[in-house]
Amino acid sequence: MKAIYKTIDEMDTLHDKAFYGLKVDSTSNCSIEIIRTNDSDPVVLPEASFAKDPDGYKQYFWSADAITFRMNKNTGHLEMVIL
């Protein structure tokens, strides 16, 4: 997967991409919210200071590729896997 960084205004289309939003709660539990193209849930983007919002996304992206996540047993790192 090639990473291309664009703002929402610069993106051509979002209708064929899934949204992935990573959140961390007050106890340091990480969760990943996935909103697929056929879901009816709205994507609510954080304000410019989203990193300071305890309930907001710490990172988010859209992808047309199918993606899953796994923990690396040797390093303890979260890995993104493109299917």
Q: What pLDDT was estimated at residue 83? A: 79
Structure-token pair, residue 46: 């954080």
Residue with more model confidence, 39 or 21:
21
Summarize pLDDT for 28-72 with one digit per residue, the tens.
888 888 888 778 777 777 666 555 667 778 888 888 888 888 999
Q: How many CA atoms lie within 13 A of 53 on its CB side?
A: 13
What SS3 class is residue 4?
coil
User: Where do the domains of the chain lie?
Assistant: 8-82
Residues 47 and 72: their CA atoms lie apart, in Å, by 32
CB-based contacts of 45, cutoff 8 Å, min separation 6: 8, 57, 60
pTM: 0.68
